[in-house]
A = this chain, B = another copy of it.
Amino acid sequence: MTGFDVLTVGNAIVDIISRCDDQFLTENGILKGAMNLIDADRAESLYDKMGPAVEASGGSAGNTAAGIASLGGRAAYFGKVADDQLGKIFTHDIRAQGVHYETKAKGTTPPTARSMIFVTEDGERSMNTHLGACVEFGPEDVEPAVVAASKVTYFEGYLWDPPRAKQAILDCARIAHESGREMSMTLSDSFCVARYREEFLDLMRSGTVDIVFSNRQEALALYETDDFSVALDRMSRDCKLAAVTMSEEGAVIVKGDERIRVDAIQIRELVDTTGAGDLFAAGFLFGYTQGRSLEDCGRLGCLAAGIVIQQIGPRPLGSLAEAAREAGLI
């Protein structure tokens, strides 16, 4: 088994992306900026109301794997699609990016997961995800040799939504740590944190997770506080390393008593925030697995995030490695 820099694990999703105004969100009971979980009926009725859309492979951890590969890193991915047209599109896109992806597609029902993403004029995205085939993902989908061969295994907190994925993650953590590797997670979404707060804290405090990715809202939600510095201090005690994004204010890296601030990059136009956190994690983990300084890891994260928010869709259309070279970061 060739070595990998990063293995990512998550819900394999195709994004269906459209623009709307704030009123549409209100009228249709969509929580702005959040990942709203929806069932098949709601997915159908909401699609009927959605404007013309474009489709792109997504899924938080899938985007991160694609970003790492685009930077030149060796990436692998576990996630479940169905054997249908959207599943074939997902599979094509992640493999075409150079990511190792061999999770077996399962039947045609339920179908491949899709997320209807509404982008408002402020660039904010509001997601409505029907998990579909992702509910079938479980321990049998773990490729032990891939976990053992990956410097870091990274997973999304969203995996606590489908029923059997968490067992797969615990298996990954055991294999990774037995192989002297590290585990990392993203808290995913502040509402996801609210659903699984105690479990996420337990993952951190038990050492199941070494490196945590979060944004400001998720960090505050995790510690049920309004005080960001309190949240960072508590996070520094609960995990070895954390990287917390703060939208246009960049990010802060937290390691023990260290607080390393990194600025966001200058952007020309905010188009669509979809994938921002995923690509920050991609840049950071690429740097981390190349042995770069934490500050450089943060800069690579901010660069990748800054690029993806200037386009529609969750994965950069151009080469991140080229952009990083132009920015003098690699």
A residues in contact (CB < 8 Å) with B? 16, 19, 47-48, 50-57, 66, 84-86, 89, 92-94, 96-97, 111, 312-313, 315, 317-318
Q: What residues on B are CB-neighbors of A51 within 8 Å?
A: 96-97
Contacts A48-B92, A52-B92, A55-B55 given; 19 further ones with Cβ under 8 A? A16-B89, A19-B318, A47-B92, A50-B92, A51-B96, A52-B57, A52-B94, A52-B96, A52-B315, A53-B89, A53-B93, A53-B96, A54-B55, A54-B56, A54-B313, A54-B317, A55-B89, A85-B86, A312-B317
CB proximity of A240 to chain B, nearest CB, Å = 33
B317 near A96 with CB under 8 A, answer: no
Q: What residues on B are CB-neighbors of A315 within 8 Å?
A: 52
Q: How many copies does the complex hold?
A: 2
Among B48, B50, B54, B111, the residue within 8 A (CB) of A54 is B54
8 closest residue pairs by CB, A with B: A55-B55, A85-B85, A52-B93, A54-B56, A52-B96, A52-B97, A51-B96, A85-B86
Q: How far is the CA of A48 from the CA of B51 in the complex (A)?
A: 31
